[in-house]
Amino acid sequence: MKKLSPEEMNRPSAAEALTQQRLPVALILDNVRSGLNVGSAFRTADAFGLAHIYLCGISAQPPHREILKTALGATETVPWSYEASTEALVRRLQAEGTAVWAVEQAEGSAPLHQMEAPAQPLALVFGNEVSGVSDEVMALVQGAVEIPQVGAKHSLNISVCLGIVAWKVFELFRLRHASLS
């Protein structure tokens, strides 16, 4: 067995990546304090062709040193914007027809393996490393999904959680968008 070279993988350039079709899925980072976690979100969003990253509240923004360390150039290939208020962003996206779901352990949250892709675009809210998605945002979202866990700890690092959830939405949405497979 031989590893594939970047040329053999036929990856787009950074400029091409910004113009390629993307899944109608955005990430909302609700006061994510670690630049390393934000950078991982960029790299994961790039890997799965997600549409946009919204950095909210205290979330670090490129060109932050820690973001660049883990993003490895993905800040140049994933559209992003900063929003001071996560709540205002959620309201705006919902008014535009986007379904907004939290990734959170909450009353009525669906296990990730039972998640079904909505017909409209989707934005997934990931919360602060300590306090999770804020109560104010939880009051606004249309639903929540969670990753079932059986260990003694009740959470995963946001970058790990984001990777698992991004794979699931990639798997669900790419069935509708065959050109992304």
pLDDT exceeds 90 at position 58: yes
Domain with 44, as residue range(s), is: 19-143+157-175
Residue 6 — very low, low, confident or very high, per pLDDT cuts 50/70/90? confident
Identify the CA nearest to 106 among candidates 147, 154, 144.
Answer: 144
- In a domain, residue 12? The reply is no
Q: Which residues contact 75 (CB under 8 A, 6 or more apart)?
A: 39, 42, 62, 63, 67, 68
CATH classification of the domain holding 43: 3.40.1280.10
In a domain, 111, yes or no: yes
Is 73 inside a domain boundary? yes
Q: Is residue 114, in this structure, part of any structural domain at all?
A: yes
Cβ atoms 20, 49 nearer than 8 A: yes
Mean residue pLDDT of the chain comes to 94
Q: For residue 165, what are its two tokens?
A: 């959830």
pLDDT in the model for residue 181: 52
Which tops the pLDDT comparison, 18 or 73? Answer: 73
What is the total count of domains within the chain?
A: 1
Task: Over range 69-92, report the average pLDDT.
Answer: 97
What does the pLDDT average to over 95-120? 96
Task: Say what percent of the chain tops pLDDT 70.
Answer: 97
- Residue 50 · residue 80 · CB < 8 Å: no
Q: pLDDT for 29-43, tens place per residue? A: 999 999 999 999 999
122/95 Cα distance (integer angstroms): 13
